Chains A and B, each alone.
Chain A
Amino acid sequence: MGYVAIKGGAQAIEGTKTVFDYLRTRQSDEGVPLDTDTIENQLRLLHSRVISEGGVYHPRLASLAIKQSQGDTLEAAFALRAYRSTQPRLVETPVLSTGNMRITRRISSAFKDIPGGQMLGATTDYHLRLMRMELLDESPERFRAIAQEMFDTASVDNIPDSFPKVLESLRAEGLLPPLDPKAHNRDPFDITREPLIFPVSRSAALATMARAEQGSLLAIAYSNMRGYGDVHPTVAELRVGYLPVFLPHPITGELTEIGEVEMTECEVVAMYDEQGSSSVARGRTPGETEGDEGNTKPTFTLGYGACFGHNEVKAISMAILDRALQKGMKDGPSNPSEDPEFVLLHVDGIDSMGFCTHYKMPHYVTFQSDMDRLRSTQQKQTSKESIA
């Protein structure tokens, strides 16, 4: 008898690949392979999610990842992330201002009238979630006509490319703490090149959340919203659009636009900090939390969220958690969403899904060892009882 329990691994693995790919192609005669442009456009939000969690802005490979993973967001982000490991980090961009974003949507729930106006853009927020039966059998002609008709009626001339930030007006009124002039000089923390060693900087926390799994962020942020926390946020501004990316020209050194990335950004304003409490900075956290430095007047506090792609729920969740974590870093965590270790070590989709999946692997040896301990304990119990 051979090693029945675990033999034949190589062949079995090959088999799983074949049958997995069969399921992708089994539509047979009517089947048309998905092309990556279709995924990027028609599954736009799925694509956004994968590019954000994958943590590398490569729209074409993100589409490919979705295609080969057959639509599993965790798997697709995972493939993209693994690809990233093969690429060296060659240059760093300077700090980019989201004030220069080419906006496709921006809203504020703090003010009815914001400078530049509310621009709803593409959203399902106010849609009735009724089944659109007409899409069940959509003709290619009708499909193309929708895109063409869009610009027949829309006036495109009087829309500016960019809009001022809502926060600027709040800051001008003294309702927010002034910008930290030292922030620009601080090096951002690169989570792809350094491990998180707690306590971590706010920059490390933001970077971790920017590529976190949306559902995980949402769940922890929701716990804060429901009562395991007290951020009570107001969305000062949520903007979606394309952010121009600049790099120094290799010869002249002059900053040159090399392209743009689609991003979602959210800034939440939370209830103000008590007077004086801000000076009691606890722990060994680098002083990166706003309102930390000698600011005695009470002000609103801020939470910030931003990620690749169009992911509004993620950006809002991140902003709430940023606020909660800043509070936890300062006063010590009073619930899970304020605990940097709890939040930051459990929101990465690649880490958590990988570890969850690994339980399907054989654990024969450790289980043998478990049985040994249990039997030994049982035996001792039995002999004890027989004496008694």
Chain B
Amino acid sequence: MSAAYPFGFLDEYAKKEVRRTALKAVAIPGYQVPYSSREMPMGRGFGTGGLQLTLALLGKGETLKVIDQGSDDSVNAVNLRSFIEMTCDDINTTTSTEEADVIQSRHRIPEKALREDQLIVLQVPYPDPLVVVEASEDKRKMLHGEADYSRLLVKLYEDIVKFDEITISHRYPTRINDHYVIDPSPIPRWDVPKLHQSKALILLGAGREKKIYAVPPYTKAEPLAFEDVPFRVEDFTDEHGVRRACQRCGCTSSFLDEFVDSKTGNKIYQCSDTDWCDEQGSSNVAGGRTPGAMDEQGGSNVAGGTTPGMEEVEQRREQLPRTPGEMNEQTVLSVGINKVEVVNGQGA
């Protein structure tokens, strides 16, 4: 393999083009910069845009983490990581968010707050949030140029009229630096607040659609909403209003995957971010290690200590206050068209 293919698979001209495109994307926050986008040896839709960014930006001696659905061990993450290892000699890979220089991710931003010296690459299937209201790319380009997002806001309004609720679950349209609205990739709404004033550079790559865009560090990122209908993240409270905990590590401040235990038939909740879950479980002082992102935004954190068994989790949940909405709306960013304010969930 290494004899037949250059470092990072792509030829040097291709990598140079990707880097220049990324620089332009940083210079114009949220603007979708077109680039030629080469075919990669894995399917369009499997993260070829993110992969091209990673391959163009990763240097020898640097450490890479690849996740898919929050997990380092999901099939696609494994596949991408082993391809990158195969074509880039002298790089290190890790599953630890802490240790990574570059993180390539599909559908999640790690729970652990990222640092200034880190870079996250998100894989993007649909780069343009306006695609739901306008099919023609030519026309969408004009709407973006004029920052005309009225049709998106009307869509949100229609949702409220029809369903009493904004129905956009993931890929939540988010305005960057007061101008361009981006599709933040299919991250859950849970991860959208992490874009706001992020310390790490966030690069988004859409290979099939041939676009790269960025949320530079310390940049404003506001999900579209109305003053009286605030943006809400996913709700993980149970029927009693108690925040569900990860059955593996006991964390009550992370995004949870829900699945059915094949033996008992019971519903089980676990952290979607596997590295976060491992860290909570192994740390005896986890209670003190609040996840930065949630903490800053007024979220509560009651991550427990040692890995609890099921009984322990149950006990702890019993002890939790049963105030409805206690941790329901952890983070509420209320965004009017011109007005931005961050309010606590309980106050809203």
Stretch among B36-44, B56-64, B147-155, B337-345 lining the A interface? B36-44
Docked complex Cα distance between A84 and B165 (Å): 48
* Chain B residues whose CB sits within 8 angstroms of the CB of A194 once the complex forms: 36
Question: Do residues B11 and A85 form an inter-chain contact, with CB atoms below 8 A?
Answer: yes
B31 close to A (CB within 8 Å): no
B186 close to A (CB within 8 Å): yes
* Chain A residues whose CB sits within 8 angstroms of the CB of B259 once the complex forms: 4-5
* Chain B residues whose CB sits within 8 angstroms of the CB of A133 once the complex forms: none
Give the dominant DSSP class at A's interface. helix
Partner of A10, one of B36, B82, B165, B190: B82
Question: Do residues A355 and B208 form an inter-chain contact, with CB atoms below 8 A?
Answer: yes
* Chain B residues whose CB sits within 8 angstroms of the CB of A132 once the complex forms: none
Question: Do residues A351 and B44 form an inter-chain contact, with CB atoms below 8 A?
Answer: yes
Stretch among A111-119, A158-166, A245-253, A360-368 lining the B interface? A360-368
Question: Do residues A369 and B137 form an inter-chain contact, with CB atoms below 8 A?
Answer: no
Interface residues in A338-388 (C-beta closer than 8 Å to B): 341, 345, 350-359, 361-366, 368-373, 376-377, 380-381, 384
Docked complex Cα distance between A377 and B162 (Å): 10
Instruction: Give the nearest-CB partner of A196 in chain B.
Output: B210
Docked complex Cα distance between A355 and B42 (Å): 11
Question: Do residues B36 and A369 form an inter-chain contact, with CB atoms below 8 A?
Answer: no
Question: Do residues A361 and B255 form an inter-chain contact, with CB atoms below 8 A?
Answer: no
B75 close to A (CB within 8 Å): yes
* Chain A residues whose CB sits within 8 angstroms of the CB of B165 once the complex forms: 373, 376-377, 380
Question: Do residues B164 and A384 form an inter-chain contact, with CB atoms below 8 A?
Answer: yes
B77 close to A (CB within 8 Å): yes
For this complex, 9 residue pairs linking A to B, each with C-beta atoms less than 8 Å apart, are A1-B247, A6-B75, A87-B11, A195-B34, A198-B141, A363-B186, A365-B70, A366-B186, A377-B163
CB of B187, distance to nearest CB on chain A (Å): 8
Chain B interface residue count: which class? 35 or more
A373-B169, A381-B163 known, 12 other contacts, Cβ within 8 Å: A3-B73, A6-B71, A9-B74, A81-B39, A84-B38, A341-B137, A350-B44, A358-B44, A365-B108, A366-B107, A376-B235, A381-B164
By Cβ-Cβ distance, the 9 closest A-B pairs, closest first, are A354-B44, A358-B45, A354-B43, A85-B38, A9-B78, A369-B169, A195-B34, A9-B75, A82-B41
Instruction: Give the nearest-CB partner of B236 in chain A.
Output: A372
A88-B12 contact given A362-B76, A365-B255, CB 8 Å threshold: yes
Question: Do residues A365 and B138 form an inter-chain contact, with CB atoms below 8 A?
Answer: no
* Chain B residues whose CB sits within 8 angstroms of the CB of A359 once the complex forms: 45
Question: Do residues A365 and B46 form an inter-chain contact, with CB atoms below 8 A?
Answer: no
CB of B12, distance to nearest CB on chain A (Å): 7
Give 1 or 0 for each of A222-244: 1 = CB within 8 Å of chain B CB: 00000000000000000000000
A362-B69 contact given A10-B82, A354-B208, A373-B167, CB 8 Å threshold: yes
Interface residues in B77-102 (C-beta closer than 8 Å to A): 77-79, 82
Give 1 or 0 for each of A59-90: 1 = CB within 8 Å of chain B CB: 00000000000000000001101101111110
* Chain A residues whose CB sits within 8 angstroms of the CB of B71 once the complex forms: 3, 6
* Chain A residues whose CB sits within 8 angstroms of the CB of B14 once the complex forms: 85
CB of B140, distance to nearest CB on chain A (Å): 10
CB of A64, distance to nearest CB on chain B (Å): 12
Instruction: Give the nearest-CB partner of B168 in chain A.
Output: A373
A188 close to B (CB within 8 Å): no
Question: Do residues B69 and A365 form an inter-chain contact, with CB atoms below 8 A?
Answer: yes
Question: Do residues B169 and A370 form an inter-chain contact, with CB atoms below 8 A?
Answer: yes
A26 close to B (CB within 8 Å): no
A78-B39 contact given A365-B272, A369-B169, CB 8 Å threshold: yes
* Chain A residues whose CB sits within 8 angstroms of the CB of B198 once the complex forms: none
CB of B258, distance to nearest CB on chain A (Å): 6
Question: Do residues A199 and B138 form an inter-chain contact, with CB atoms below 8 A?
Answer: yes
* Chain A residues whose CB sits within 8 angstroms of the CB of B107 once the complex forms: 363, 365-366
Docked complex Cα distance between A381 and B164 (Å): 8
The interface on chain A, measured as residues whose beta carbon lies within 8 A of the other chain's beta carbons, has a size of 59
Question: Do residues A380 and B164 form an inter-chain contact, with CB atoms below 8 A?
Answer: yes
Partner of B45, one of A4, A86, A354: A354
* Chain A residues whose CB sits within 8 angstroms of the CB of B262 once the complex forms: 4
Instruction: Give the nearest-CB partner of A342 in chain B.
Output: B135
A12 close to B (CB within 8 Å): yes
Question: Do residues B189 and A369 form an inter-chain contact, with CB atoms below 8 A?
Answer: yes
Docked complex Cα distance between A16 and B34 (Å): 35
A197 close to B (CB within 8 Å): yes
Docked complex Cα distance between A195 and B207 (Å): 11
A8 close to B (CB within 8 Å): yes
* Chain A residues whose CB sits within 8 angstroms of the CB of B187 once the complex forms: 365
Interface residues in B236-264 (C-beta closer than 8 Å to A): 247-248, 255-259, 262
Interface residues in B12-52 (C-beta closer than 8 Å to A): 12-14, 17, 34-41, 43-46, 48
CB of B43, distance to nearest CB on chain A (Å): 4
